[in-house]
Amino acid sequence: MRTASAATSSCAGPALPLIRVVENAIGHTWRNTRHELDRMHLVTLATGHGEVAQRSATTPAQRDILRALHPPEPPRFFDFTLTRPGD
């Protein structure tokens, strides 16, 4: 029988090298890096004209993390849905 702790440790094994790569590239702990990136939010705004999904502004610390790891910055605006007149 597999326990929860065994399942967790088997998942953590492959992730540890990736975590170390991130820590070395950024110069901060995984905990601090994750905390900073967790501050990025996506909200859906609704008006009489429709809806839009908008990401929060990138902080300087988040920008530094993204530069160090080389992924593109997520788009600021995602989904636009316009309301048709009469709906």
pTM of the predicted protein model: 0.72
pLDDT of 79: 87
Domain interval for residue 12: 4-82
Asked whether residue 87 is assigned to any structural domain, the reply reads no
Using alpha carbons, select from 28, 27, 30 the residue that is nearest to residue 17: 30
- Banded pLDDT at 87 (limits 50, 70, 90): low
Query: For the chain, what is the domain count?
Result: 1
* Range in 3-7, 15-19, 69-73 the model is least confident about: 3-7
Which tens digits make up the pLDDT trace of 51-77?
999 999 999 999 999 999 999 999 999
3-state secondary structure 3-34: CHHHHHHHHHHHHHHHHHHHHHHHCCCHHHHH
Asked whether residue 70 is assigned to any structural domain, the reply reads yes
Asked whether residue 49 is assigned to any structural domain, the reply reads yes
Output the CA–CA distances (angstroms, integers) from residue 40 to 1, 3, 63, 74, 76, in the order listed. 39, 34, 11, 10, 11
